[in-house]
Amino acid sequence: MKLGVIEIRLQDEEKEEALRELRLLKNQLIKIFEEIQYIDLEKVLKGFGTMIKADAERRRKKVEVVLDVGGVRIEREDANSLKNILVHLVRNAVAHGIESPEDRKRAGKREVGRITIKSWMEGDRIHVIVEDDGKGMDMKEIEKKMKELGIKGRPEDAIFSPGFTTSETADEVSGRGMGLYAVKEFVDQKGGEIFLTNRPGKGVSFHFYFPIKRILKKVLILRRKGAIFGLNLEDVEATIKRDERVRDFLMEEKRVYEVVDIGEGDFNYLVLTKFKEAIAVDEILGIREVPVSMESVGIKGVKYFVKNVWPIPIPVISPKDLEV
């Protein structure tokens, strides 16, 4: 009898080891896929500042480029296009916005102009801001050029027209009038929007965003009875062990959470969400960072499905929309 017990235990251990190796292999494959599919924006813009400084020096200007894009990952298929439009915007700022060191000094500014590129994720959108501390746009000059070209509308929209430029001559860096048009075209094709803020004497800011098809999300994988599901980690405030005080509501640090249970009977943990709901679960299976599609799945309470983590796709739920 003892031999039988030992033999079965060894078999179970072998199965567990095989499952661990399978999970490890799956995680490695997901990581490889992520490296193929995505790239850090910081890597895309490597050497960007040096290139722009060289452009500025050809114009006898001094410029520093500040990048604030840490943590933003983009699809590789967008990398070259996004870099190109950032080059257009920044070169436009160098050519038309940043003043010469002498003019900046007379205006009470630092001799070195500053161009800042910021980027962040918000839901399924990538936001990018390119701003400078130059002289701003001369709207009267733009309106004058609009009359010459027969362009109607707002100056803020006219600058994105193909071929529009206030420069009398073109060079290899800017002045052909295609830069801002290329930016607008890219944003439009991606289903986004672009906004201009002009501050006379203080600089110009371009803010654009566009949605992405797939995004990396950190998901907390949970189990309740026979159901495996996930929560966006960004929606989770904390996890706690079940308290005997729990009934329909839980008071935690003077905040009230409604207990939501998709199963029946006892449970082991509560996952507190920013929607003031506490999700009852039996087991916390871990956290996975996975690429997901942000297209609607058409199921109420389900944001999207995580694939290649479990034998079947895992629904990631929205607690605020969950019906139990």
The 3-state secondary structure of 104-138 reads HHHCCCCCCEEEEEEEEEECCEEEEEEEECCCCCC
- Integer Cα distance of 259 and 224 in angstroms: 14
Burial label for 118, CB within 10 Å (0-12, 13-18, 19+), is middle
- Greater model confidence, 311 or 271: 271
Q: What average pLDDT score do residues 275-295 get?
A: 84
- Quote the pLDDT of residue 308: 73
- Quote the pLDDT of residue 207: 97
Domains of the chain: 39-211 (3.30.565.10), 217-321 (no CATH)
Q: What average pLDDT score do residues 272-287 get?
A: 90
Phi (first) and psi of residue 162, to 5 degrees:
-60, 130
- Integer Cα distance of 117 and 65 in angstroms: 8
Q: How confident is the model at residue 7 (pLDDT cuts 50, 70, 90)?
A: very low
Mean pLDDT, the chain, as a whole number? 82
- Predicted confidence (pLDDT) per residue in 36-90, tens digit: 678 889 999 999 999 999 999 999 999 999 999 987 888 888 888 899 999 999 9
- Kindly tell me the number of DSSP H helices and DSSP E strands found in the chain: 8, 17
Q: How confident is the model at residue 2 (pLDDT cuts 50, 70, 90)?
A: very low
- Integer Cα distance of 273 and 85 in angstroms: 39
Q: What average pLDDT score do residues 1-26 get?
A: 53
Q: How confident is the model at residue 5 (pLDDT cuts 50, 70, 90)?
A: very low
- Quote the pLDDT of residue 173: 47
Nearest to 129, CA basis, from 191, 72, 175: 72
- Quote the pLDDT of residue 6: 41
- Predicted confidence (pLDDT) per residue in 133-181, tens digit: 999 998 899 899 899 888 888 888 888 888 787 665 545 445 445 578 8
What is the model's pTM?
Answer: 0.64
Q: What three-state secondary structure class fits 176? A: coil
Intra-chain end-to-end CA distance of the chain, in Å:
47
Strand stretches in 34-112, DSSP E = 38-40, 63-68, 73-75
- Quote the pLDDT of residue 209: 94
Q: For residue 122, give Cα distances in angstroms to 90, 234, 236, 265, 274.
A: 23, 11, 17, 38, 16
- Quote the pLDDT of residue 188: 94
Q: What average pLDDT score do residues 276-302 get?
A: 83
- Quote the pLDDT of residue 71: 79
Nearest to 101, CA basis, from 60, 58, 135: 60
